[in-house]
Amino acid sequence: MGLVGGTLAVDIGGTGVKALVLDPHGEPMHERVRVDTPRPANPEAIIAAIMGLAAQCPPYERVSIGFPGVVAGGVIFTAANLDGDWIKFPLAREIEVRTERMTRVCNDADMQGLAVVEGQGVELVLTLGTGLGTALFVDGKLVPNLELAHHPFRKKQTYEDYVGRSALKHVGEKRWKRRVLKVIEQIQPIWNPRMIYLGGGNAKKLEADDELPDNVKVVANLNGLLGGIRLWDDLA
């Protein structure tokens, strides 16, 4: 298949829902649009937010969505930072009905990783936002739905408890940065990644941190949208 029209990329987060239309080469066609994540963050409210954002965007021919949870076949299986009504919700099918456009959905960290990985060896993506997103790639191939966030880390805390947005607010930025370094130290000998990419809204707080290991790189949060073009690689 040749180049198509625009791809509407949507990033659903615990605090914000963002959207951007990408041209056939994966370049933004306009400024990103955003709304606060509605509360309660149930499917109908989130879908209404997506449709409102889509109405502000240029025309598009297909939709890519990054969702903060486990996704399989366009269906949601976990949604720790949103609403329980998401469980087993067919998000891809519902958006296809609303937009009359082909739609694909994946984990939000997976979508960010698709935009930044180099395709060499083991590469790990950590997204620091409301929670902690994780994505694993081997020679550029995605290992989908890696959910490190809810595994025990220390003192009965999960990784997400330790470095999520609530922890940042509770312990302050200085201590939070030290915590992120401890998480990186913990996971290095587990996957032995060639590269670790730190994304998500809070990753920018680490950009000037000279204590980051040599194989750790901070990447722009916009990649959570830019990766949407890669969901359609099989049709390129």
**Secondary-structure percent of the chain, ordered helix, strand, coil, rounded to 5:** 35, 25, 35
User: 102-106, 142-146, 181-185: which range is least confident on average?
Assistant: 142-146
The upper half-sphere exposure of residue 202, i.e. CA atoms within 13 Å in the direction of its Cβ, equals 24
Q: Do 112-223 and 7-108+225-235 fall under one CATH topology?
A: yes
Name the band, by pLDDT with cuts 50, 70 and 90, for residue 120.
very high
Asked if pLDDT for residue 76 goes beyond 70, the answer is yes
Q: What is the pLDDT of residue 236?
A: 65
CA angle 126, 155, 87 (to 5 degrees): 55
The per-residue pLDDT of the chain, averaged, comes to: 95
User: 4-8, 25-29, 115-119, 189-193: which range is least confident on average?
Assistant: 4-8
Q: What is the pLDDT of residue 5?
A: 82
Contact residues for 214 (Cβ-Cβ < 8 A; gap 6+):
none
pTM of structure = 0.94
Using DSSP bridges, classify how beta strands 33-36 and 157-158 pair: parallel, antiparallel or unpaired. unpaired
User: 2-6, 25-29, 118-122, 146-150: which range is least confident on average?
Assistant: 2-6
Mean pLDDT of 130-135: 94
Write down the CATH number for the domain with range 112-223.
3.30.420.40
Q: What is the pLDDT of residue 1?
A: 44
Q: What is the pLDDT of residue 113?
A: 96
Name the band, by pLDDT with cuts 50, 70 and 90, for residue 208.
confident
Percent of the chain with pLDDT over 70: 98
- Give bridge partners of residue 123 from the DSSP assignment: 137, 195
CB 27 within 8 A of CB 81: no
Q: What is the pLDDT of residue 234?
A: 87
Q: What is the C-alpha to C-alpha distance for residues 159 and 140, in angstroms, rounded to an integer?
A: 25
Q: Cβ of 57: how many Cβ atoms within 10 Å?
A: 19
Q: Which two tokens stand for residue 163?
A: 């470095």
Mean pLDDT of 198-205: 94
Write down the CATH number for the domain with range 7-108+225-235.
3.30.420.40
Q: Give the start-to-end residue ranges of the domains of the chain.
A: 7-108+225-235, 112-223
Tens-place pLDDT, residues 77-91: 999 999 999 999 999
